[in-house]
Structures are given as structure tokens and as C-alpha cells.
Structure 1
């Protein structure tokens, strides 16, 4: 049976493209660090989704994480997930390694193929067809991990299909070895294969427990295909959270993000602390070793307090 989850296995996940300044992100990260959550994560998007104007506008994921690396002390930091369409692999390897150095080795690096066409159009970013995006993702992962693994004083080359690399010094290096790589998603073939090849963690965002179990099985099978121990990976899930001390507070928090309590209970982690704890335990029993709690109202720091004090204490 999967070990009981602890507060450190709960990670705060934010969506700043919906409307957040750097100071908003810092306030959440500092409170999460103070309370003992395992990590502070953010999305990597440039355009708001659904309702809202997204003011004051998007913050770049790795610029923001660089600031958080210096303004926090102990909490892990990362992206769920960066888009391979946004950045070239060489400069991205530099950015992630530098943020990891700045944080003293507290970075987890999530990378995906990209999916939101409208943000690419809004900011002039090329958006190839899905197959090419996966080709580019795999090539980026090859290059980034290859650069980080190249000994200091040696050079790195990769013939590449989209990003040929010639005589790279492959610098800088991360703080103390390559950061853990997170790969996630619901693709039935290429996603599990990439996770088996590159990832330290596999994540499913906003899916049912049944689909999580199915996809986790695909990743484990992909690991066995390449003679990797499936237990080398951490298996995690991302879910929206809406917790209240009582039903009125649940309803208030749901209304503040434009959602209904019943829908949130069905599709996320919603309800009173006891309800939320029970839902988290059900994900643990399904094989989730880590949970990312999607927090949509970044002004509501009391929400973090409630989860740390009244939910996490019921998980054992």
C-alpha cells in the first residue's frame, strides 16, 4: 500500500496568467514555505484562459522563478509545465541551470510540448502540428539533459533535426546535478515513452482517478520496455482545491473563482477539511505519491493556512 501522504507531499500550484503580479506570487510562495508545503509551482502561459482580464498581464515563468529563488529559502520551485515551443533548448538549459544555482538546488523542471494555440498567436510564437511539437520536445530534452551531463571542460554536440548543436561549452551547470524533470499529460504512447526515458516524475493534470491509474500503468509499462525500474519515478496528480471550514466557506471560495461547489467536488479536491483529506487519501490509494493543489485565488492566503492546519493533519 502506498505510504501516507504528508504536508511535504502537497505542492502549491498557481496559474498567474489568470492575473497575478510577481508580488502576488511571492506572497503565496512565502506562506507556503512558512507552512511547510513541499513546493511552489507555477504554470508557464502567456494568455489568460476563460473569464478574467489577466491584469496586470503575464509574468514569464523563469524570470519569476529566478526572483523567487532569491526571495525564498527552503521551498522547492518549478513549472508545471514549461512549453517547449516558447524557448530554444540551449538558452532554456542556461536559464534553468541558473535559477537552480540561484536557489541552491531547489528547482524541479517540468517541460511539455505546448498546447494553447491562442497564446502562441497572441505573442508571435510558432505553433507546429502536434507531431512536430512532440518531436521538438524530445529533441529539447535530449539537448538539455545532454548539456547538463557534459563534464566541465568538455563540449557537447547534437546533430538535431530542429536544433543542431555544435561545440557547445554546455555551461552553466545546475547547482548539484541535473534538476528532477517532470513530464506529464494524457497521451497514450509518446508521453509515457518520454517519461520513461527522461523523467524523475510523471504528472497527470486534472483527470479522473481512473484515468490517472490507466496512465500510470502506461508509464510503468514504458519503463519496463527500456529496462528501467518503474518505481524510479514519482507519480503525481494536479487537482484544483477549494476547501472551507464549513459549507458556507466552501461556497464563498467556489464563487470567488467562478465555480460551483458540486462541480469542484466532482472534478477536484473540494469541501470541508475532512472531505478534502478523504479525497487526497483516495488518490494516494490509487498510486499518487504527490499532489499539486491548484490555487486559483492567490489573494486568499487563509486557504493555505486551512489546508496545512486542518487537511494535512488528517492524512495519516
Structure 2
């Protein structure tokens, strides 16, 4: 089971805070440091000092880390034109020495679009499908050849399809709860399928849908990596769990029911349930980015017990 750190910087984090977390995650041998892609905070927090851009952040981290993988859950398709996104990701991949992964979603938080003057189209899923075709198509075009695309939402003519990522293929992550269109899209474009904040039963059901869609598309279901994203709140004692839950404005018992919360032994058992449902990777949503002891506890007493 691969454990990865997943952060939500729009809730209030500087680049320096994110750098500390990423370096700690690398030192503690987590599989990756991921971040969300949002420009506006959610809930009652102030969001100070304000948002940081996902790909600018990852570019900085690419130069200040050396081993840990870096990526997004999920880059908002509404924020960037697909041709420009392909350039951004390829450049950050080169800057990192080939450690980048692209989670790409349609974008959903209308308020952040209104706050920063970003168009929020009614039809987002069709745009996402074209974005995936363009980004992956640009990267796959051999050097010296040209790429063209004539879609409903995007058109590219005579693109040199440069630059290329350092990796022969940047892993693409697609996720969600949709029963039909999402599995079909993952079957066509994804290297990994992620389901966020889902129960064990819902996880198993959605993974089965994606496997079936992949096989229908002519792929083996096992070609994809299957992963979950869940809130982490771990403590050696009940009082420590409660303290960490209080710090992020959540209820400890609710987190035990719906996240990865409790003692290390309880969390190991909970992860095993998801593993039995087909999960191979866990993105641990860490909401208190100043609590580096939390990262260390999970690394030493949870990660060490996982196969």
C-alpha cells in the first residue's frame, strides 16, 4: 500500500509551509506529495494568506526535493487551456527529473471562478474529455511530427507538440463517483483511478465499474492503479485524535466512520478494508499543515505495518 500526502493549500498555506511538508514527506518516505488546485478557501476559515497556484508550487518543489513524486488531485480543467497545461506539466516534469503526475478533473467550485474572473462553462465533462485527448496527444506525438485537434471546444493546428516530459509517459489520474461517463473516461485515458472520500462499499463498486469499462475498451483492468483519498487524523490516544480533529474543525467519531482516524492500529485495520476492496494507494488528506508530528506518527506507526 502506497501512502501519499495530499494537501489543501487554499485553506491557508504559504509556499514555505508547503515546502516544509513536502520535504518532511520525502524524508519520511511517503510515496508522493500532492495538492489540490483551488483559488478560494472553503468553509469558515479565512484562507490567509491566500491561494497558491498548483503548478507554480510544484515547479518550486520540483527543484527543492529530489525523490518524492509530485502531482495534483485534481488540476481544474476550467483553469487552463489544454495546450498550455501540457507545456506546464512537461516543464515541471523536466524540472523534477521525471517525478510528476497529472490528476485532471473538470473543475466544480463555481465561487472561485466568480471570485477571480474565470469562466465557468455549463458543459464541463465534454471539455474535460477533449482536454485529456489534447494533453496526452501532444505528449505522445513523436518529435518532429505535428499534432492537430478539431473538437467542439478546442482546436489545435500544426502544433509542434513540444516540450516533451522527462518521463516517457506522465501518469494521468482521473477520479470521481460517476457511474458511467467517469469510468469510460478513465478506461480511455487514465493510468490511475482515484475515488475521493468514499466508503469501502462504494469504493469496491466504483473500482468494479472502472475495471469493466477498461476491459470493454480493450485494456486489462489491472493496467490501472486504484486509489482512495481520505482525511487522516491519527493519534496514539483518544485525546490526541480528538485534539487533531478539533484542530481541523471535524468530529473525531465522524472521521473514524468516514476517514482514516483513530489509533495507528485502528487506521492500519481501516486501510486493510480498503485494500481488500481493491485499493492500492492512499492519499492522506492532511488538513493541519503545521502538524509535522502527525506525518511522522503515520510514517513510523502506520506505514511501517503496511505491506
Q: Following the alignment from structure 2 to structure 1, what is the Cα–Cα distance between the partners of residues 160 and 206?
A: 38
Distance in 2 of aligned mates of 1:116 and 1:214? 26
* 2:231 equivalent to 1:235: no
User: Does 1:298 pair with 2:285?
Assistant: no
Kindly provide the CA deviation profile for residues 58-88 of structure 1, in whole angstroms up to 9, marking residues without a partner as x.
0000000000000100000000000111100
Residue 16 of structure 1, aligned match among 1, 5, 9 = 9
Runs of 4+ with >6 A deviation: none
Once the two structures are TM-superposed, the CA of residue 188 in structure 1 deviates from its matched residue by 1.0
* 1:98-109 correspondence to structure 2 within 5 Å: 98-109=91-102
Shift of 1:315: 2.4
How many angstroms apart in 1 are the aligned matches of 2:236 and 2:176? 32
1:309 aligns with 2:300: yes
Matches within 5 A, 1:242-261: 242-261=233-252
Q: TM-score when scaled to structure 2? A: 0.99
Alignment root-mean-square deviation, CA: 0.7
SS in 2 for 1:154: coil
Which one of the candidate residues 56, 75, 82 is aligned to 1:82? 75
Count of residues in Structure 1 that have an aligned counterpart in Structure 2: 307
SS at match of 1:90: helix
Distance 1:141 1:68 in 2: 25
Alpha-carbon distance between aligned partners in 1 of 2:9 and 2:65, rounded to the nearest angstrom: 18
Unaligned 5+ segments in structure 1 are none
Task: Indicate the residue corresponding to 1:119 in structure 2.
Answer: 112
- Residue segments in structure 2 that go unaligned for 5+ positions in a row: none
Instruction: Return the alpha-carbon distance in structure 1 between the equivalents of residues 293 and 43 of structure 2.
Output: 25
Alpha-carbon shift at residue 176 of structure 1 (Å) = 2.5
Matches within 5 A, 1:159-178: 159-178=150-169
TM-score of the pair, normalised by structure 1: 0.96
1:63 partnered with 2:59: no
Query: What is aligned with 1:198?
Result: 189
Deviates more, 1:117-126 or 1:98-107: 117-126
| Secondary structure in 2 matching 1:191 | helix
Secondary structure of 1:276's counterpart equals: helix
* Residues 73-130 of structure 1 deviation map (CA, whole Å, 9 limit, x = unaligned): 000000000011110000000000000000000001000011111111111111122x
Give the deviation of 1:313 after TM superposition.
Answer: 2.0
- How far apart, CA to CA, are the structure 1 residues paired with 2:303 and 2:97? 27
Partner Cα distance (1:312, 1:43) in 2:
23
